[in-house]
Chain A
Amino acid sequence: MAGAVQETPRVRTLLLDAPGWADHRAGQHLDVRLTAEDGYQAERSYSIASAPGEELAITIERLDDGEVSPYLVDEAADGDQFEVRGPIGGYFVWDASDPRPILLVGGGSGVVPLRSMARHRERVGSGTPMKLLYSSRTWDDVIYRDELETIGIDVVYTLTREQPPGWTGYARRIDRELLEETAWPAEQKPRVFVCGSTRFVDAAADGLLELGYEPGWIRTERFGATG
């Protein structure tokens, strides 16, 4: 571990110095394996937060009843060591040579692999239209908040639980009407990446299908109980 950024009270980005790491594609994940002194081990998968070519980073949300995430968010310090394996996954990935407009739809920490895609677009100087719909509980739960101001893509926020005074953005779960107002029109045949909880992913994907998107345009990544 070579550094950390506290993104929100529950979420931290870890920078990793991983000798021998093969470069990843935007959207892939890796496996973390922790080993206790007596040899006990626990493994979990996490999305890669950095863009290809950058110093490797993962962003982790602490799940209070989890086993690995509390250690990575609260305990691990610079110089600590753990094993990583990857990159993993060849489907939920965005290739910058894909000319289609990109719609990113993230719920909570589901924004992590989407951030890798947005950074990748910025780093390679891609002109591909890309837009992020990002659902969080509160403004304080928004991960990468400052970075998203300057990353060069449209970001549409919805805050589902609590909104700051004067909030003029969306304030409800993603639904068909919200998608209709914000998503690329189906005529543009966008490529879509949706990441979040199962309920979030199903709501977003079903809403997009109602707007005329085809199932084959939509790639999903769902997280359940991965503590």
Chain B
Amino acid sequence: MPIISRGFHGKRQEGPSDRVPPGQYLTDDFPVLSAGPTPHTALEDWSFSIHGGAEPVSWTWDEFRQLPTETVTVDIHCVTKWSKLDTSWEGVSVDTLLDAVDHDAAYLLAFSDGGYTTNLPVEDVTGGRAWVAFAYGGEPLEPEHGGPARLLVPHLYFWKSAKWVRGLSLRDEDEPGFWESNGYHLYGDPWREQRYWGD
């Protein structure tokens, strides 16, 4: 029996219940969550690298932007409780990037400008489930939202979609990243409400 909050009725935003995970509410805004200052990396200084495979690989911005791109429309869910439906992104599939690497890793740590990291199982970023996105709503991705490029892993809480991403470090073991070392769940499935340690 839950505790009833006397006099609380709620606004009962209408949302398709099969698209809004438990404990989330819908917003039309695009709130920002980050732990420090917003990095501003010039495109000529930007690269994306993958190490931990047989050979390290790296793309400059121009090389990266010559890779095939996909446009996807997905729902995103932030651990701070907001969800946003039908967000439109353009990016390079992580499948495309990992195809360039000979590896048998089960996990990876995505790393970003500003020192941010987040850990993911490789199977969660392959099979058409993750992208390195450089455009949002048809426009170049703003720095405050992770531009020039961020990871996009929409089926997990949005902190896993690392802003300002600069590469992937492949590894055999799952190792907690930044928020995962600061109280947040190692995996972060919004449908199982895996917000914090112990969920």
Contacts and interface: CB of A to CB of B under 8 A. Distances in A.
Interface in B37-91: 37-39, 80-82
A224 B82 contact: yes
A182 interface: no
A77 B5 CA distance: 10
A44 B79 CA distance: 10
Given A67-B25, A215-B39, A198 B9 contact: no
Given A216-B115, A225-B82, A202 B5 contact: no
Given A43-B81, A81-B3, A216 B36 contact: yes
Interface string A195-227: 000100010011011000001101110111111
Given A80-B7, A90-B183, 6 more contacts: A71-B7, A82-B8, A91-B178, A208-B37, A224-B30, A224-B33
A224 B23 CA distance: 17
B127 interface: no
B81 A83 contact: no
B181 A36 contact: no
A88 interface: yes
Interface string A61-93: 000000100010001110011110000111110
B25 A80 contact: no
Contacts of B114: 215
A224 B31 contact: yes
Interface string A31-51: 001111101111111000000
Interface string A1-40: 0000000000000000000000000000000011111011
The 4 lowest CB-CB distance pairs between A and B, nearest first, are A224-B31, A90-B182, A205-B37, A198-B32
B3 A35 contact: yes
A215 B164 CA distance: 14
B2 A35 contact: yes
Contacts, number: 117
Q: Is the interface of B mostly helix, strand, loop or mixed?
A: loop
A218 B37 CA distance: 7
Interface of A: 33-37, 39-45, 67, 71, 75-77, 80-83, 88-92, 198, 202, 205-206, 208-209, 215-216, 218-220, 222-227
Given A205-B37, A215-B114, A75 B32 contact: no
Interface residues of B, number: 38
Contacts of A80: 5-7
B9 A88 contact: no
A224 B5 contact: no
Contacts of B31: 198, 222-226
Contacts of B182: 89-91
Given A36-B9, A41-B2, A89-B182, A215 B37 contact: yes
B36 A225 contact: no
Contacts of B81: 43-45, 226
Nearest to B33: A222
Contacts of A206: 37-38
A82 B6 CA distance: 9
A75 B13 CA distance: 20
Given A89-B183, A224-B31, A219 B3 contact: no
A220 B25 contact: no
B10 interface: yes
